[in-house]
């Protein structure tokens, strides 16, 4: 898993404050920390829709499917119709929490984890062998990709405004989120704090 910032609205917090003061004669006031904090505390979320951030995420198809459910964002993802996948993400197995379907427990010993990873590698090696044979036989990538497992790697770009990012981070850093997705959300949160320090402080993130 990796996450990195691609682009962010220049002077994003200053821009949001400027727009928030559309009806004020002091629109250029450089002191905007209290204003943004007030907007957040009183639910004036529309102000936060005027700045955006784009991040690059490298993960598995299993996790990208979860991320794509956040439909308020704009996405661009690596396409297996045009390019051949090159990476596989093999995660440690965790035991199902019988009290909470949205939780899993790290209770397997190292030997079990090693056996699991070997089984996954054997499976993915076989899948890639069939895939590569299909490509060599002239089968289109859009057809051959059907054999590839969900642990195959992908790269995606995720663009959203500050309001969307706040909601995503609050939701996906919660303990009910799958661990591998939560790690991505935590990494995005760190990037967000660096780009939006005033907003992050108002949210008690900084």
Task: Fill in the DSSP letter of residue 52.
Answer: E
Residues with Cβ within 8 Å of residue 123, at least 6 apart in sequence = 149
Instruction: Enumerate the β-bridge partners of residue 160.
Output: 53
* 172 belongs to the catalytic site: yes
User: What residues have CB less than 8 Å from 134, skipping those under 6 apart?
Assistant: 143, 144, 147
Using alpha carbons, select from 205, 160, 178, 194 the residue that is nearest to residue 64: 178
For residue 100, what are the CA distances in angstroms to 58, 137, 148, 184? 28, 46, 30, 22
* CA pseudo-torsion sign 69, 75, 78, 82: positive
**Catalytically active residues, by annotation:** 172
């Amino acid at each position: 898993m990796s996450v990195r910032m691609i682009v962010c609205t220049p002077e994003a917090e200053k821009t949001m404050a400027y727009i928030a003061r559309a009806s004020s004669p002091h629109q250029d006031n450089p002191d905007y920390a209290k204003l943004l904090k007030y907007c957040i505390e009183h639910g004036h979320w529309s102000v936060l829709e005027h700045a955006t951030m784009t991040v690059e995420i490298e993960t598995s198809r299993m996790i990208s499917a979860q991320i794509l459910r956040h439909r308020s964002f704009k996405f661009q993802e690596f396409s297996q119709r045009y390019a051949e996948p090159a990476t596989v993400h093999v995660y440690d197995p965790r035991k199902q929490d019988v009290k909470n379907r949205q939780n899993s427990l790290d209770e397997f010993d190292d030997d079990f984890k090693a056996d699991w990873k070997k089984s996954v590698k054997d499976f993915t090696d076989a899948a890639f062998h069939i895939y590569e044979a299909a490509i060599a036989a002239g089968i289109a990538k859009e057809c051959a990709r059907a054999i590839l497992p969900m642990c195959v790697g992908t790269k995606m770009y995720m663009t959203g405004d500050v309001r969307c990012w706040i909601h995503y981070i609050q939701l996906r850093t919660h303990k009910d989120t799958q661990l591998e997705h939560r790690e991505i959300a935590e990494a995005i949160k760190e990037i967000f704090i660096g780009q939006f320090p005033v907003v992050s402080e108002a949210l008690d993130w900084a």
